[in-house]
Amino acid sequence: ALGNFDAYLNTPEQFERDLIKESTPGMILSFVFGLGLIFIFLASIFILIIQYKHSRVKWRVAFAFGAFLIPLSILSFFNSLPIFWRDYEDTLSKSVYFGMALASVVGASIFGGLTIFLFCAAGESLSRDLKLPRMPLVESIRRKYATIQRVLPTYVVGYSLGFIHLGYLIVFYHVATKFLKVWMPIDPSYTNMLGTSMPFLFPLTIAVSAALSEEFMFRLFSIVFFKKYLKKIWIAVFISSVLWAF
């Protein structure tokens, strides 16, 4: 049976040099903003310690969100087992190969859950201290503010902006490639989705994991953190958005 197939394109050396030259600024920016993410992570630990000393942290909800991510990540691993076994080489026993991979996934899942727990606990407690006009996360759930009347308009606006952005990308790349000689490689994402045991779970697990990590890190925590120390809400939103974008 055919286990794997790769297609290679022989490109001129000068083209590869030019491509590296053009992509270098992006790599530098990625490194710089990677340091920004480390700063946000350390800041959340600092805030959590301060809030804990003043007994302002509500652990239960943060623990629930963090714990929810762990089995979801492990489920994603088991769902991708057909793809996982595709790369198996018989130089290693199957039990050792599977055990090492499972241990790595469990470790990464626990770390991801702890990260969600950290940003949720720090951001929610800090938002209560700042008394922002929006209800903090825990109070919104407890007082049942997440009603259909409140949630539906946000979904409509969110999906509308998503389709508008998609239309902008289509127009942008059409004009850029046709008139400005912009070159963009064809890079289809998630090509192995149909190779999983249950393909519908693949985008679900990816979407939930990305939503939890991004919203808690760049929205719930980062915005209130920068608002606390920079005072201006628009500056806080701008900085957190730039960090997220890069």
Q: What is the mean pLDDT of the chain?
A: 83
Q: What is the pTM of this model?
A: 0.71
Q: Is 198 left (phi over 0), alpha (psi -120 to 50) or beta?
A: beta
Measured between alpha carbons, how far is 181 from 183 in angstroms, rounded to an integer?
Answer: 6
pLDDT average, residue stretch 229-243? 89
pLDDT exceeds cutoff 70 at 223: yes
Surface-to-core class of residue 61, CB atoms within 10 Å of its CB (0-12 exposed, 13-18 middle, 19+ buried):
middle
Are the C-beta atoms of residues 84 and 101 closer than 8 Å to each other? yes
pLDDT of amino acid 104: 92
Alpha helices, H only, 131-200: 137-142, 148-179
pLDDT at 65 over 90: no
pLDDT value of residue 191:
64
Per residue in 12-40, pLDDT (tens digit) is: 888 888 888 888 888 888 888 889 889 99
